[in-house]
Amino acid sequence: MNSVNRYFVNFFKGLHSLLVGMRVTLRVFFRKKTTECYPENRKKLVMFDRFRGELVLLHDSQNHHKCIACGICEVNCPNGTIRLTSEMMTDETGKKKKVLVEYRYDHGSCLFCQLCARTCPQQALDFIPTFEHAVFTREKLVHKLNRDGSTLAPKPVAESITV
């Protein structure tokens, strides 16, 4: 095959490839659009169930939490986004126990691996599906998870069984 024939064969192969691509492009161009208009549809936007958006320390309606300040979540965090501050207190019976003073969480460097929530022996941590965390400075991504005035939830009193 001489060079002129080869030129025209390659030209028509390229033209065929271009027309196949244009056919796909035109077919997609006239389809119904599936793009989410994000800022406008905030009210009806629902995240999927397993989305890990933000770590929270669970509190009940009386502002009690379950965290016993054991530090397992802090140890298991791969990049140190959790910082616990605790102090030793003596209760009315004279026993010493650790009390949570401050639970700091750096949302900006979290890997969302969920190792902290899975290894918590009290199930005091959970991830909630919030997703709007855009800020201008990294300092605003550091959160205090325990609420002001929150205390450790009291242990349920075991009822004595009479026979």
Q: Which of the 8 DSSP states describes residue 159?
A: P
Element (H, E) at 10: helix 3-29
Q: Give me the sign of the Cα torsion angle 10, 12, 13, 19.
A: positive
Instruction: Answer yes or no: is pLDDT of 162 > 50.
Output: no
pLDDT tens per residue across span 13-69: 999 999 999 999 999 889 887 777 777 887 788 788 888 989 999 998 888 899 999
Q: Where are the domains of the chain?
A: 1-34, 54-152
DSSP assignments along 18-53, one per residue: HHHHHHHHHHHHTSPP----TTTTTTT----TT---
Q: Is the pLDDT of residue 163 over 50?
A: no
Chain centroid to Cα 141, Å, comes to 13
Specify burial of residue 69 (Cβ count, 10 A radius: 0-12, 13-18, 19+). buried
CA gap 152, 107 in Å, rounded: 24
Residue pLDDT, tens place only, 75-131? 999 999 999 999 998 888 888 888 899 999 999 999 999 999 999 999 999 999 888
Which pLDDT score, from 0 to 100, does residue 80 have? 93
136-150: average pLDDT: 90
Assigned fold of 54-152: Alpha-Beta Plaits (3.30.70)
- Which residues neighbour 101 within 8 Å (Cβ) at sequence distance 6 or greater? 85, 86, 87
Q: Which residue has the higher pLDDT, 80 or 163?
A: 80
Model confidence at 160, pLDDT cuts 50, 70, 90, reads very low
